[in-house]
Amino acid sequence: MMKTIPGIKRHIPKRTCITCKRVMPKQQMNRLVRTTSGSVQFDPDGRLAGRGAYICTECLKEGIKAKRLEHTLKTSITENDIAQLAQSLAEMRQK
């Protein structure tokens, strides 16, 4: 862990939601990744390889409905992917 020096602020990485275009700290956003196999999944640690996109929790359903997620990740999202994302989101909210 890094020690903080009084008077010096640490850089906080920011990301833009693909749906609402709000800029927020990276830690408050959800990262979705198109994996090499073509499926879409959550990346809670931000370390999975593949094309990624950041989205607010509130905007997830709207992003799928408006096909913003498909456009950004350059893939088509199947019903199976949507069901898996919904299940992952429910599990994340329970933690």
Residue 8 lies in a domain: no
Residue 2 lies in a domain: no
Predicted TM-score (pTM) above 0.85: no
Residue 19 lies in a domain: yes
Give backbone dihedrals phi and psi of 55, rounded to 5 degrees, phi first. -145, 145
Span between the terminal Cα atoms of the chain, in Å: 24
Residue 5 lies in a domain: no
Rounded to whole angstroms, the Cα distance separating 56 from 80 reads 21
Residue 49 lies in a domain: yes
Looking at 1-95, list the stretches that DSSP marks H as alpha helix, in order from N- to C-terminal side. 60-65, 68-73, 79-94
Q: Across residues 77-86, what is the average pLDDT?
A: 84
Question: How many distinct structural domains can be found in the chain?
Answer: 1
Residue 82 lies in a domain: yes
Residue 89 lies in a domain: yes
Task: State the CATH number of the domain containing residue 31.
Answer: 3.30.1230.10
Q: Across residues 55-69, what is the average pLDDT?
A: 82
Which residues fall within 8 angstroms of residue 20, CB to CB, at 6 or more apart?
A: 56, 58, 59
What are the tens digits of pLDDT across the range 3-54? 667 777 889 999 999 999 999 999 999 999 998 888 888 898 889 999 999 9
Task: Indicate if the pLDDT at residue 82 is higher than 70.
Answer: yes
Q: What's the pLDDT at 60?
A: 79
Domain coverage including residue 86: 14-94
Residue 43 lies in a domain: yes
Query: By three-state DSSP, how is residue 46 classified?
Result: coil
